[in-house]
Amino acid sequence: MTPLLIGCAILLIVFQILGTFVLGMRDRSPDFRSFYTAGYLLRTDRTHLYDMDAQTRVADGKVMPVAMQLYYFHPAYEAVLDVPLSWLPFKAAYRTFMVLNVLMLIGCVFIGRSAFSRFIPWIQPGLGLSIFFFAPLLLTVAQGQDSILFLLLVCVCWHELERDRDANAGVALALALFRFQLAIPLAILLILRRGWNFGAAFVATGAVVVASCFALVGVQGMRDLLLLLRLSGGGSGSAAQRVQMNLPVSAMANLRGLLSGLGTHTLSPTTAFLVVAIASFAVLAWSAVLIRRTPSNQVAFAIAALCAILVSYHMFLYDLTLLILPVVMLAGRVRGWLIAAAYLAPAVGLLYLGIHSFVIAVVPLVMLFALSSRQSASASEVDAMQLT
């Protein structure tokens, strides 16, 4: 407990320094700007929550003008959490959310303590200390992103699965659908592993989530959201809109980013999409086989999380917060150097290689996925030999 409290105190001081630096940068603003804008629009003009002009107008007026506006295109139900913060001045709201993120990190450690209490040399010498130096988590707090909330809900999901409360786990993961590109593949694999008690709870709660989004912003608002999602994926839209939503694929730490670095960026958008889709389906199918065969629930959950990261169509460095779970769950089950590489690669990308080189984080990720797959297959073979 003492190392955890010391780590929390140090972390709060570091984040206050980082936050002051980020807020002081000219012509730039932390990512929290988009969440703050969403909260303000949801309480004042919710039908225009996904209107790009409205978001720019509010963000420029309530925060400050910036060269490149970061738009909010998450499901509307998540923005409900941002409404109370939107009543505060921006800097106060940002610092408040920073503290909330640190508190959620502590919650992740205690809820997922079966994994976070494992001793890992240099990475986790004490309870939960791996969290405090994991680059995606540090960046998430500094930028005011929501990835730690997603991690907390996934930890709740794992906690409930450990206790065979599958329905509760399904509800927890469905509440994390604001990161649907991660939650849906994770849910598919867990349904295959756990069955329909989990699946029914996930689908039912997901239906409530979707209905709440329609209730909040209406049909036109949902159409505007779909437009933003298409633009974020490089889809159709006006030339000006595509420029505004220009998100660098080379910065994505997933299969899409890896394949772009290997050459799909030279292909037509349709061909590149098909290549990524085929590769993603292959990884998902192989994971489905593995997750049914492995005797260890913890290894199965780690494989599901790794697969979700790889096949996610939208994945920046802060989204790699989910990677901390496979790292601590697979420690001692795969080679130590591989765990260290997966843990440190995001920091290398952040500190030394620049935004367009975050794809390097995928390399140890793929290796970790491959070795965990090998470990799962080996365990399955051992069980088969024992049965015979």
> What are the tens digits of pLDDT across the range 370-384?
767 666 556 555 455
Assign residue 183 a region (left: φ > 0; alpha: ψ between -120 and 50; beta: otherwise): alpha
Q: How far is CA 137 from the centre of its chain?
A: 10
Type of residue numbered 46 = R
Q: Which domain holds residue 56?
A: 2-387
Q: Read off the pLDDT of residues 266-295 as tens digits, 9 standing for 90 and up.
A: 788 788 889 999 999 999 998 998 888 888
Residue 344 — pLDDT band, cuts 50, 70, 90?
confident
CA distance 173 to 156: 8
> What pTM was estimated for this model as a whole?
0.88
Closest CA to 130 of 149, 154, 112: 112
What's the CA dihedral at 316, 276, 289, 294 to 10 degrees?
A: -20
Between 153 and 327, name the one with better pLDDT. Answer: 153
Report DSSP letters for 146-203, one per residue. SHHHHHHHHHHHHHHHHTT-HHHHHHHHHTTGGGHHHHHHHHHHHHHHH-HHHHHHHH
Of 148, 195, 187, the closest CA to residue 171 belongs to 187
d(Cα 40, Cα 34) in Å, to the nearest integer? 10
353, two tokens: 């290689």
The number of domains in the chain is 1
Window from 133-142, 153-162, 264-273 with minimum mean pLDDT: 264-273
Measured CA to CA, the distance from residue 255 to residue 363 in angstroms comes to 10
User: Looking at this protein, which amino acid is placed at residue 27?
Assistant: D
Tell me the CB-side half-sphere exposure of residue 303, using CA atoms within 13 A. Answer: 33
The average pLDDT across 97-122 equals 83
Buried b (16+ CB within 10 A) or exposed e, 96-105: ebbebbbebb
Q: Count the helices and strands in the chain (H runs, E runs).
A: 19, 0
- Inform me whether the pLDDT recorded for 213 exceeds 60: yes
pLDDT exceeds 90 at position 6: no
Contact between 187 and 197 under an 8 Å Cβ cutoff? The reply is: no
Residue 17: pLDDT band with limits 50, 70, 90: low
Are residues 227 and 235 in contact, defined by beta-carbon separation less than 8 angstroms? Answer: no
DSSP string, 252-313: --SHHHHHHHHTGGGS-HHHHHHHHHHHHHHHHHHHHHHHHH-S-HHHHHHHHHHHHHHH-S
- Distant-in-sequence, close-in-space partners of 231: CB < 8 Å, separation ≥ 6: 237, 241, 242, 244, 245
Using a pLDDT cut of 70, give the percent of the chain over it: 78
Burial class of 37 by CB neighbour count within 10 A (0 to 12, 13 to 18, 19+): buried
- Determine contact, residues 148/141, Cβ cutoff 8 Å: yes
Q: Which two tokens stand for residue 18?
A: 């980082």
- Give the pLDDT confidence score for residue 242 in this predicted structure: 47
- What's the pLDDT score for residue 126? 59
Report which DSSP code applies to 112. Answer: T
